[in-house]
Amino acid sequence: MNWDILNSRSYTPYSGKQRSCLIQGKSGKFYAGVRIENVSYPLTISAVQAACSICVSEGDTPSALLLPDTDFDQLEYWKNEFGLEIRVISDISTIEPEDLSKIKSTSEGSDLQDLLSKAVAPNSDFPVSALLYTETGMYEGVNIEFTEWASGLCAERVALAKSIANGDTELTDLAVHTKFGEVSSPCGACRQVILEHLPLNKIRLYHSDNSMSEHFTVDLLPFSFTSGSLRK
């Protein structure tokens, strides 16, 4: 891998400021994270937040953070959260981050149920699972919580962070499941993020009573916030 390729996978239409990083897990595996901006700027996922969340969602524990430079947000927080060793490194040509794409699911409802066990939600005890489909594959997402609540990511956004960091941006549809909710229903922040990446697509929601409902993303966020003047 090299930083130019990884940086180019960032989704930064508002700032143009591409950012990417690699987390090495205790397993030795490397997980890529890229910055994913949103038209509502505070919903932006930072590269380090993405990489840490992805690593934890794979059952691994972040141990080192590899960066092209130190121009990253909240480095101290992430360093302390996991006791990360921070390595500023220009040559990552010997490193290949994990390709986390999966073969498309054929039994979506039961796969989503099984996936709940991978959620890391010590604060809420409320596991959520998501499957995000692209033209070529599928990405699993579970919710990940950290000491700082606001730094965690919902299942939907972990799946999105994996696909974007993998350079797999032809997103087609999304399925979401929660066991304890009366209904499975993405939060408002996820609806905003989902709408930006899957504007004409559908979401399938698998509810706790084993029923499923399918919705256009636009129907889940009517009269949404948008502005052409924000897009560069």
Q: Could you list the active site residues?
A: 156
Asked if 121 touches ligand THU (CB under 6 A), the answer is: yes
Give the 3-state secondary structure of 72-111. CCCHHHHHHHHCCEEEECCCCCCCCCCCCCECCCCCHHHH
- Considering only residues 44, 143, 166, 192, which one is a binding residue for ligand THU as defined by CB under 6 A? 143
Burial class (CB in 10 A: 0-12, 13-18, 19+), 137: middle
The enclosing H or E element of 31 equals: strand 30-34
155 vs 152: CA distance, rounded Å: 10
Q: Which stretch binds ligand THU (CB under 6 A): 30-38, 53-61, 121-129, 166-174?
A: 121-129
> Of 64 and 189, which has the nearer Cβ to ligand THU?
189
Rounded to whole angstroms, how far apart are CA atoms 158 and 189? Answer: 13
User: CB-wise, 66 or 112, nearer to ligand THU?
Assistant: 112
When binding is defined by CB under 6 A, the residue of 45, 56, 131, 155 that contacts ligand THU is 155
Give the interface segment with ligand THU, choosing from 30-38, 96-104, 118-126, 201-209 (CB under 6 A).
118-126
Structure tokens at 122: 């010590």
Among 4, 148, 187, 208, binds ligand THU (CB under 6 A): 187
* Residue 19 or 118 with smaller CB distance to ligand THU: 118
Selected binder of ligand THU within 152, 162, 171, 198 (CB under 6 A): 152
Q: Tell me if 155 sits within 8 A of 128, measured CB to CB.
A: yes
